[in-house]
Amino acid sequence: MSSQRTPSEAPRERMRALARLPVFFALAGKRVVVAGGSAAAAWKAELLAAAGARVEVLAADVSDEMRAVADACGEALAIHPRVWTQTDFAGAVLAIGAYDDDGEAARFAQAAREAGVPVNVIDKPAHCDFSFGSIVNRSPLVVGISTDGAAPVFAQAVRAKIEALIPAGFARWALAAQRWRREVQESGLVFNARRRFWQAFTRFAITHPDHEPGADDFERLLAEVKHGAHAASDGSVTLVGAGPGDAELLTLRAVRALQSADVILFDDLVSAEVLDFARREAKKLLVGKRGHGPSCRQSEIHALMVGLAKSGKRVVRLKGGDPMIFGRAGEEIAACAATGIAVEVVPGITAAQGAASRLRISLTERAKARRVQFITGHSEDGELPSDLDWRALADPAATTAVYMPTKTLAALVDKALAEGLDPSTPAIAIARATRSDETIIAAPIGDLPRRVAEQAPGGPLLVMIGKTFEGPTLLSGLQNSRETVRSA
């Protein structure tokens, strides 16, 4: 069977089921009907008026809260002291009802629908065509949060977290983007250069949220992009570390790279959850290099990566773990440099770090380990490397992480034991580290190859060896791990 593999495009992921479709109504100058004068209706009326709607409140009884909102909103909100009629729906774009009685709520909802007007009856989801949700307001940057009515308090907690993450000054930057968009479109910049402008805009806005954006900022950003326009036209390559599998371990910089990519070249070790962070429009190409299985030639990956960048694409080369640790990053950087392609590297959490964090075991536990060493379990031909420092591997004061040793683990251990490694040294094999189906096998290193062969956990394998994994520390780590644990 051939061991060669060609780059292949990953099938575009279909949108998963949504409990609600998040849409944003443009209500400026449009008529909205609110039936009811309660405090709950007052809050919805104020929200609608803030969105620019002409709000007409129909209510025989009007609360003090509603009157206060009417005073604050001025001409944007009118109160009609009567009950609604069918003719009130004519020309309305939305209808909001506030009724405790299910019968009244049903009649109002039916009348609105007969008139072709989307309806919401407050706290009556059975009579609603749409819901409001929780809102983070940095207008024109607006974030809506919905739990489909299942957990309003949870939605409010999520909103509070997002509020803390988004500075109030972002509203000014969103307004500036609104003002500058046409000027950027008419600036003569090519598509990739325009995108670079908005990326530079975003970087500056995020790091200077309290700065008041002005014309000088626009001219400076535009000049920077025009000065580097040749690079924008040529495209670029970004090597991104995807981490060991858990998508929550991605760095913010990695997420930004994925969301700005035109094409993503990814390995088999990259989890589907990580790819979910990519821009939906980005083309995703699998260029996997499987240990001891069909693999794409490294030369093919180089040619594809460089060719796409030369055609003006922003290419993300997405690698499991950290691209600078057993990720052939040096070869890919050299291939880009040889053709003048700009390269950026975004580091990721390597498997040993992810596994240690999941186990809550320090790789450099005082009095147990004075250094950490990372070694590969196979050479270019797939066999055990012949140039490993076996004396260092046998050092009782070292913590050793062995990457990709699935095929060579038994031979590696036999050689290490012959060179002085104590067979009773604690060791752990972790398959699919940090993922939801992670498997951990703990045993003395002398017995670990047999245990791994018997249990055949599958997936990318990492082996860690050292005294830091012994005794109560190991037991505590295994008990705290959420995943499947098999220990001696």
CB 70 within 8 Å of CB 77: yes
CB 296 within 8 A of CB 7: yes
Amino acid (1-letter code) at residue 118: P
Write down the catalytic residue from 289, 313, 319, 368. 289
313 is catalytic: no
The pTM of this model reads: 0.63
What are the angstrom distances between the C-alpha of 457 and each of 56, 270, 386, 429? 65, 18, 26, 9
User: 39 with 66: CB under 8 angstroms?
Assistant: yes
The CATH class for the domain spanning 31-132 reads: alpha beta
Domain ranges of the chain: 31-132, 170-231, 235-349, 352-487
Tokens for 6, please give them: 């060609």
CATH label, 235-349, candidates 3.40.1010.10, 1.20.1050.10, 2.40.50.500, 3.60.15.10? 3.40.1010.10
Of residues 267, 268, 322, 467, which has the active-site annotation?
267
Which helix or strand (DSSP H or E) is residue 230 part of?
Answer: helix 229-234
**Which tokens go with 409?**
């683990």
Written as one string, the DSSP assignment of 255-300 is HHHHHH-SEEEE-TTS-HHHHTTS-TTSEEEE--B-TTS-EE-HHH
CB environment 419-454: b (16+ within 10 A), e (fewer): eebeeebbbbbbbbbbbeebbbbbbbbbebbebbee
Do the domains at 31-132 and 235-349 have one common CATH topology?
no
* Contact residues for 216 (Cβ-Cβ < 8 A; gap 6+): none
Q: What is the pLDDT of residue 473?
A: 58
Is residue 224 classed exposed, middle or buried when 0-12, 13-18 and 19+ CB atoms within 10 A define those classes? Answer: middle
Q: What is the pLDDT of residues 223-275, one digit of tens each?
A: 988 876 544 456 789 999 999 989 889 988 898 889 888 899 998 888 888 99
What one-character DSSP code corresponds to residue 100? S
pLDDT at 483: 46
- Active-site residue 289, yes or no? yes
Pick from 437, 440, 435: nearest CA to 474: 440
Judged on CB neighbours under 10 Å (0-12, 13-18, 19+), 55 is buried
Q: What is the DSSP string of 166-226?
A: S-TTHHHHHHHHHHHHHHHHTS---HHHHHHHHHHHHHHHHH-TTS---HHHHHHHHHHHH
| H or E segment to which residue 308 belongs | helix 298-310
**Sequential pLDDT tens for the chain (488 residues):** 445 667 777 676 677 788 888 889 999 999 999 999 999 999 999 999 999 999 999 999 999 999 999 999 999 999 999 999 999 999 999 999 999 999 999 999 999 999 999 999 999 989 999 998 889 999 999 999 988 878 888 988 999 888 887 888 999 999 999 999 999 999 988 887 888 899 889 888 887 888 999 999 999 999 988 876 544 456 789 999 999 989 889 988 898 889 888 899 998 888 888 998 888 888 999 987 655 555 678 889 999 999 999 888 889 999 999 999 998 899 999 999 999 888 999 999 999 999 999 999 999 998 899 999 999 998 877 889 889 999 999 999 999 999 999 999 999 999 999 999 999 999 999 999 998 888 999 999 999 999 999 998 888 899 999 999 987 555 555 555 544 445 54
Query: Which tens digits make up the pLDDT trace of 386-405?
Result: 899 999 999 999 999 999 99
On whether the 352-487 domain is CATH 3.30.950.10, my answer is yes
CB atoms within 10 A of CB 99: 21
Query: Taking all residues of the chain, what is their mean pLDDT, rounded to a whole number?
Result: 88
| Three-state helix/strand/coil letters over 374-434 | EEECCCCCCCCCCCCCHHHHCCCCEEEEEECCCCCHHHHHHHHHHCCCCCCCEEEEEECCC
